[in-house]
Amino acid sequence: MSDPGLTNHGRSDFGPLGVEEGFHTLTLMRSRILNGLRAATFLVFTLTAALCIAAPPGARINGRVVNAADGTPIEGAKVTIDLSPGDDRPEKEVQTDAFGFFEIKEIVPGDYQFKAAHPHFVGYEEKVTFASSAFTNKVIRLNPIDAKVFFDIYFQVRCLSTHATLSGAKIRAEYWKPDGNVGGAPDLVFNVAAGAAGDATLFGMEDGFYTFTVTRTGWDPITYKPPANSGFVTVGDKVRLIRYHYGSVFLRPIKQDLDVKVIGYDPVKDKPAQPLKGMTIKLTGIDLADDKLEIGPRQAALSAEDGTFKFGNLAPIRWKISVGRLGYVPKEVLVTPDATGALPAQTINVDLEPVQAYVELSSPYQTVDAVKDAKVQLQGIRNSNTEGINRELITKAGANGNIATVHFENLLPGRYWIRVQHEATIGGLPSRSGPLFGPNAFKVSFFGSSGITWLFFTG
């Protein structure tokens, strides 16, 4: 008997089922229903288990903490959530940024004690319930302790001529109480140094009168005042601040000179450790804190006869000196101002990338007497890289019986004149031959730090 499908258990004319056929059909239906229930039960169990294993999505709270007295942001306020009942060991803790903002993420759902605190303000506390995936945004207003207003004062210090940030600049703030004697000595004095970015912050300052003095070695000191017509109350040289303030300060540099001298092997004098003329010297300003940050336009000059050049009217920042010339290995030196702001003089020793030249004289006469002991002169070309180089060598007999050579070393790449002067008497020749004179002069060019030029002469 075939197994009919569930949609084909009855007859198409709705006639009565046979007893045997009806029994088997009901049995089959019951079996399939039970299997379906088992599958459904398993599916429900599987989903339930998966839900039990997966952690509920965390909640999140963003917000801002401000001064209740004037609405200014409070930096450095501590914001915590402590799962109830509180045990003073908070589950999450953050601090507000310079604008008073904070964010706490991935909070497990539940009841918490929410707190915001700052040393100069009355703390804030409330009970908060975080639901799964909930997002909360709060503005917390803290009242100043003893009704005093506290705020921060920010400074950015730069060089007036180069705009370099002046790390290490010192800011001295003198404070007088608003109801005190502003003509007397200050009630409090605060000192802070600028960081690597030239920025400094005076934290937790109070309502009152102030003077600010900004100094750095190598720059003229300045007494900072907020811009005119900015709404501040002034008494003499003092200004009253009741809220946070941002001050941008530019110090005028005390201009310095930088003496540079370049020495090395001089192919003209054919001696080492000599002052080098015509070396290209480049000068680039470098930030006081960041070695890779270049400042201002570059300067360039050529060294004089004594190998020196004086750069003037420089700010006492760091300066990178780059020295180079065709035929020398480029070299860089970083100059840092000394404790007084002066730029120490620099003597820079550069290395020669020597060029060599071989000159070979040969003769059709099968004797070295025709070319040995010849005077060979090498002369640089005027107004070129080789100008001033003059060498003279005497040829020596080579391994071959009819050649003689000279070897010029420590030259600069470029163009040269080669002159050969020689007079020789060859024995055994017809009397009419007499003395044999070599060629007068000819021109040759060669380049490259390791280039060797072979010059063949026929006498």
Alpha helical stretches, state H, 217-360: none
Superfamily of domain 256-350: Immunoglobulins (2.60.40.10)
pLDDT band at 56; cut points 50, 70, 90:
low
Residue 233 has pLDDT above 90, yes or no: no
Indicate the residue type of 253: P
Question: pLDDT category, 450, cuts 50, 70, 90?
Answer: very low
Please state, rounded to an integer, the average pLDDT across all residues of the chain. 81
> What pLDDT does residue 427 have?
63
The top-level CATH class assigned to 355-458 is: mainly beta
Extents of the domains making up the chain:
59-145, 149-251, 256-350, 355-458
pLDDT value at residue 428: 57
pLDDT band per the 50, 70, 90 thresholds, residue 153? very high
Looking at the predicted structure, is the pLDDT value of residue 33 above 60?
no
Query: For the residues 265-270, what does the mean pLDDT come to?
Result: 96
Contacts 24+ apart (CB under 8 A), 7-15: none
Length of the chain equals 459
pTM, rounded to two decimals: 0.62
C-alpha span between 424 and 422 (Å, rounded)? 7
> Which pLDDT value is given to residue 366?
67
Contacts for 168 with CB less than 8 Å, ≥ 6 apart? 193, 194, 216, 288
pLDDT given at position 398: 77
Give the confidence band of 140 by pLDDT, cuts at 50, 70, 90. Answer: very high
pLDDT (mean) for 154-169: 94
Work out the pLDDT band at 296, boundaries 50, 70, 90: confident
6-15, 239-248, 384-393 — most confident range: 384-393
CA atoms of 421 and 438, how far apart (whole Å): 7
Share of the chain above pLDDT 90, in %: 52
Question: Do 149-251 and 355-458 fold alike per CATH?
Answer: yes
Output 89 or 328, whichever has higher pLDDT: 328
Q: Over 70: is that where the pLDDT of 151 sits?
A: yes
Average pLDDT over residues 194-205: 93
Long-range CB contacts for residues 199-202, cutoff 8 Å, separation at least 24 = 199/154, 199/155, 199/156, 199/157, 199/165, 200/154, 200/155, 200/157, 200/169, 200/171, 201/152, 201/153, 201/154, 201/155, 202/152, 202/153, 202/155, 202/171, 202/173
How far apart are alpha carbons 148 and 425 in whole angstroms? Answer: 112
Neighbours of 111 (CB within 10 A): 11
Query: How would CATH label the architecture of 149-251?
Result: Sandwich (2.60)
Tens-digit pLDDT profile for residues 43-55:
333 333 333 445 5
Residue 34 three-state SS: helix
- Residue 78: pLDDT over 90: yes
102 and 112 in contact (C-beta within 8 Å)?
Answer: no
Residue 369's region, left for phi above 0, alpha for psi from -120 to 50, else beta, is alpha
Q: What is the mean pLDDT of residues 347-355?
A: 93
For residue 213, give every residue at least 6 positions away whose Cβ sits within 8 Å of its Cβ, in sequence order, or none. Answer: 171, 172, 174, 221, 222, 223, 224
* CATH 2.40.240.10 applies to domain 59-145: no
The arithmetic mean of pLDDT across residues 79-106, rounded, is 90
Residue 342 neighbours by CB distance under 10 Å: 15
- Residue-wise pLDDT for 356-373, tens only, equals 888 888 776 667 777 788
Rounded-to-integer distance, Cα 241 and Cα 151, Å: 9
CA distances for 101 relative to 60, 97, 201, 242, angstroms: 14, 6, 18, 22
* pLDDT at res. 256: 96
pLDDT band at 401 (very low <50, low <70, confident <90, very high): low
Q: Which pLDDT belongs to residue 161?
A: 92
d(CA 153, CA 241): 9
